[in-house]
Amino acid sequence: MNRYRTTLFYGISYVVILAVAIRSLGFYFEYSHPHRWLVVALLVSFALLLVAIERNFSHRAGWHPHLYLTLQMGLISALSLFRPPQDFFNALYLPLSGQAMFMLPRRTAFTWLGLFSLVMAGSLVMAYEWRNALGLAILYAAGYFFVGSYANITIQADAARQDSQKLLMELQEAHRQLQAYAAQVEELAVTQERNRLARDLHDSVTQTLFSMTLTTRAICLMLEENPQEAAVQLEHLQKLAESALAEMRSLIAQLRPSAIEAQGFIPTLRQHLTMRHQRDNLSVTLEVTDEPRLSPQQARNLFGIVQEALNNVVKHAQTDQATVTVSQADGTIYVAVEDHGVGFEMASVQSDMMGIGFVNMRERAEMLGGTLAITASPGKGTCIQVKAPLERDNEREN
């Protein structure tokens, strides 16, 4: 029983006891009843037991509540035996009805309320004519069950409030855990992106800069002995510098995915293919059937896979022709990049996955919840296909 409910219930109970005491003692003392002091003693005993049950018995189980209710019912029955009879002593069962509901299981408590009603009705039948006794018995019994029912409702409300508070605490804890998990996922994503960019720099720009360094040294040696060859190497050095600049711009573009979010996956892909043709002289045919609706995260990862696959075409395929196919079916998106270049032996490339960028593409495919398939053979080119589930509309909105 919480503090507020305890204070309210016992405040009302003491008011009931005070009203009964004023009515009974005023009557008995006015007529100098010989048992008036015994009435005082019984009322005081009832009030003291009412206080004692809250301090000692309210949280106990077993027989203690039954003993308490039996003693209190005995005190009220004794008060009802005095003559002339005073029916208002039966009002003392009202606080007992609430206490029975607070201390005992509901079924047992209602049994006690029925017992109170029977004892009360018996005392009234002994003291009054049956019609008056019946009316008073119905009135008091209704009061007992009303108080008991109200106490039961407050118990259920308190239990529901405690369950709600417990659920709220669990939801708050789950929210904190989700925030922590989200932070970890975000940190992991940032780390993975940094690692991917580091690999890209190592595979492309770093190697180009290393080639530029070697070419520069060779030019320094050739300037005096063979100026014509030095001029050729200078032209080669210029192409290497342009290639390194293009690679850096490509990586910077990956760090700026706003174009994909603003324009969409297919328009951004068309723009990128145009840039590859201008920069690398790579002609790419784009085939789109049923343009998919993608989230920004899906679009960025698929765009990164296509970009990496085209980088491999330029570096290794020894061809200037490629095809990019985008389609969807049954909630799945398919993206394929195919060339008809020199190809390679799949077995020989397994140990060199990091160097040719396949790991980057596979990681992006896994982030999409999909798979990456690579088919290649010498002289027949290479095909890289990604298959990933499309996000539902509500997930895209979220």
Q: What pLDDT, on a 0 to 100 scale, did the predictor assign at position 351?
A: 46
Q: What pLDDT, on a 0 to 100 scale, did the predictor assign at position 361?
A: 85
The single-letter code of the amino acid at 34 is P
DSSP string covering 271-297: HHHHHHHHHH--EEEEEEESPPP--HH
The helix/strand/coil state of 391 is coil
d(CA 324, CA 339): 9
Is residue 324 predicted with pLDDT exceeding 90? yes
**What value does the mean pLDDT of the chain take?**
80
Q: What pLDDT, on a 0 to 100 scale, did the predictor assign at position 57?
A: 45
Which tokens sit at 6?
């305890």
Instruction: Work out whether strand 371-376 and strand 332-339 pair parallel, antiparallel, or are unpaired.
Output: unpaired
With tokens 């809250």, the residue in question is: 54
Q: How do residues 75-113 score in pLDDT, each as one tens digit? A: 888 888 877 767 788 888 888 888 888 888 889 999 999
Mean pLDDT, to the nearest integer, of 287-316?
A: 85
d(CA 76, CA 357): 92
**Cα separations (Å) of 23 from 16, 17, 75, 96?**
11, 10, 17, 19
The single-letter code of the amino acid at 279 is R
Q: What pLDDT, on a 0 to 100 scale, did the predictor assign at position 394?
A: 39
| Long-range CB contacts (within 8 A, 24+) of 40-47 | 42/75, 42/78, 42/79, 43/17, 43/79, 45/75, 46/17, 46/72, 46/75, 46/76, 46/92, 47/14, 47/17
5 CB-near residues (< 8 Å, 6+ apart): 154, 158
Could you tell me if 376 and 382 are in contact, meaning their C-beta atoms sit under 8 angstroms apart?
yes
